[in-house]
Structure 1
Amino acid sequence: MQASFSEIQKIVDHIENNFDREITADEIERLSHYSYRNFQRIFFKIFNETVSGFQKRLKLENAYKKLIYTENTISEIAWQVGYENIQSFSKAFKKQFSVSPVEARKQKQDVFKQFIESGNLNLKFEIKFKDEVTVYCKFIKTKDYNNAEIDALWKEIEPEDEIFEAAYGIIHDQPLITDRFHCRYGAAVTCDHDLKGFFKREIFGRKYVKFIHHGLHENILETYRSFYRFWLSEQSLLLDNSDVIEEYAKTENGEKVTHIYFPLYE
């Protein structure tokens, strides 16, 4: 039985939106129209992990983001991601990351150390509320957000430039926390009618810190490095663990730019 990432994205989104509670086999069967056994088989073939393993990983990765992005207490974070007590959370967290939640928070600079060492602090940003936008998406798993794989996805969606009114990239995972083989990227476009083979969802609808990358997407890591260096020096700027959104555009003189939106903790 064959199925693509995009075809099961509705169920993946459901799991992701409800990672903090038990998701039943009946729920998955109702949403996927597969038997639970067959869906498990399809899911494992695409993700190389079980549904329960995926959900547990999401819990712990979201907890790690909250530990380094926010000032919530560890017990609050444990509860927010679905653990009933701090002891079971701490045990699972240390098993996953080989460090305790307390140590992870204390060592947050170390998470970014190697990534940001070549960056700079010369970064302009603004705090902005973005209205909710309906988009049509296709998703891929891509090792370390590989540019060649992302480019291939966009060429599939837009063989010619500017077919759609607006284009966005959905960055599901924090690659400094998520195993590089599990990173997920969504190519999203706006359209005035439903697109066959695409997954419909809403993005934005909250407050973000926005900064801009100028030039080719293949050099975008340098801009992310600059942002993280700035963020680590600006302790009052608290981030959220939800998706980072890239908005692709052109200036009046035709220069390609990427507006990058990091969600702010509310």
Structure 2
Amino acid sequence: MNAIKKRLEDTLEKIDTTLDAPLDIAALATAAACSRFHFQRQFSAFVGMGVADYQRLMRFRRAGLQLAFRHETPITEVAFNAHYENLESFSRAFKRVFGQSPSAFRKLPDWSRWQETYQPILDLKGEIMRNVELSAEEVRIVTFEETLVASLEHRGPPAQIPASVRKFIAWRKDFGTPPSKSATYNLFYDDPKTAPAEAFRFGICCKVERPVEKNTFGVETGIIPGGRCAVFRHRGPLENADDAIREFYKDWLPASGETLRDFPLFVERVSFFPDVAEHEAITDIYLPLQQ
């Protein structure tokens, strides 16, 4: 079973990293070390859908995030990026999956429907695909400089974080702090796996040069305090960093002899999906330490 899951992991990774390439069933079967006569049946038995349907759904995931968070990208361009020749066919297919047209989704996404669509797939991939293990050599001790930030605190179910992110992006556009000019941070106040959904907190921040003016978005001035931190760089979807973060606490911290500071784990999003391919995303993960 482990050998089969490893081959399936290789297959999923190959599809995920070549979303813009035509499906090559023979190459995927080779990656899965499986006869092409059996490959698609084995894939659908594990994943719950065919290879083409999986690729289409991953393309729709990218398209949905572009619609929700990149309003400067025309819907026709989103459709083309999703490999549809015209907007009409893209709109029909998108609505079948999400119950909303692309324009309606761009205006007010139904994140509950989105969660229902993708969370089972992400959970399955989390079970199948190996999370990158953390090695002590990857961890650096740095002095993080105190950073003035604009901060929006999300409170409530983790599934609704995208709605808060949209609100923060709208503020960033008004305030003139795009990711290209201002570092992006997230504060992990709570563990979504253990905190009650209604009490869950998550910080969405970006670096600013002056205090935040009063606004209708709920964005306030905050500070990420300076001090010693342990940091490691994660490549790929942040969801795949769970095991490495656990090892950060469970293995690296006791072996290091360090003591934690009274500030939550936080990350800097160096580059992120959908601006780059999901496997090319880079996140620096910081663990605050006492002096």
1:211 aligns to what SS in structure 2?
strand
Q: Distance in 2 between matches of 1:212 and 1:99?
A: 31
1:188 aligns to what SS in structure 2?
coil
2:194 aligns to what SS in structure 1?
helix
**Equivalent position of 1:218 in the other structure:** 194
Q: Residue 180 in 1 paired to residue 180 in 2?
A: no
- The one-letter amino acid paired with 1:39 is F
Counterpart contact for 1:61–1:177, Cα < 8 Å: no
Counterpart contact for 1:212–1:258, Cα < 8 Å: yes
Counterpart contact for 1:29–1:36, Cα < 8 Å: yes
Q: Distance in 2 between matches of 1:234 and 1:92?
A: 35
Counterpart contact for 2:189–2:201, Cα < 8 Å: no
- The one-letter amino acid paired with 2:119 is R
Counterpart contact for 1:90–1:101, Cα < 8 Å: yes
Q: Distance in 2 between matches of 1:265 and 1:5?
A: 27
1:182 aligns to what SS in structure 2?
helix
Give the deviation of 1:9 after TM superposition: 1.2
**Equivalent position of 2:259 in the other structure:** 253
**Equivalent position of 1:80 in the other structure:** 81
- The one-letter amino acid paired with 1:182 is I
Q: CA separation of 1:32/1:4 partners in 2, compared to 1, >3 Å: closer, same or farther?
A: closer
Identity over the aligned pairs, expressed in percent? 19
Give the deviation of 1:4 after TM superposition: 4.0
Q: Residue 93 in 1 paired to residue 94 in 2?
A: yes
Higher relative contact order (CA 8 A, sep 6+): 1
Deviations 1:202-261 (A, max 9, x none): xxxx9973323246552396797534699x9499xxxxxx72354624574247954445
**Equivalent position of 2:34 in the other structure:** 34
**Equivalent position of 1:170 in the other structure:** none
Give the deviation of 1:81 after TM superposition: 2.1
Aligned length: 185
Q: Distance in 2 between matches of 1:254 and 1:96?
A: 45
- The one-letter amino acid paired with 1:219 is A
Q: CA RMSD in A?
A: 4.0
Structure with the largest fraction of helix: 2
Counterpart contact for 1:21–1:82, Cα < 8 Å: no
Q: Distance in 2 between matches of 1:33 and 1:225?
A: 43
**TM-score under structure 1 length normalisation:** 0.55
Deviations 1:72-91 (A, max 9, x none): 11111111222222121111
- The one-letter amino acid paired with 2:76 is S
The aligned runs of 1:1-266 (5 Å cut-off) are: 4-71=4-71, 72-108=73-109, 111=111, 176=115, 178-183=117-122, 184-185=125-126, 187-191=131-135, 209-214=184-189, 218-219=194-195, 226-227=202-203, 233=217, 243-245=237-239, 246=241, 248=245, 249-250=248-249, 252-254=258-260, 258-260=265-267, 262=269, 263=272, 266=275
The farther-off stretch of 34-43 and 51-60 is 34-43
- The one-letter amino acid paired with 1:244 is L
Give the deviation of 1:39 after TM superposition: 1.5
Give the deviation of 1:64 after TM superposition: 0.8
Counterpart contact for 1:213–1:220, Cα < 8 Å: no
Counterpart contact for 1:64–1:177, Cα < 8 Å: no
1:68 aligns to what SS in structure 2?
helix
1:176 aligns to what SS in structure 2?
helix
1:65 aligns to what SS in structure 2?
helix
Give the deviation of 1:22 after TM superposition: 2.0
2:184 aligns to what SS in structure 1?
strand
Q: Distance in 1 between matches of 2:26 and 2:238?
A: 31
Counterpart contact for 2:65–2:274, Cα < 8 Å: no
**TM-score under structure 2 length normalisation:** 0.51
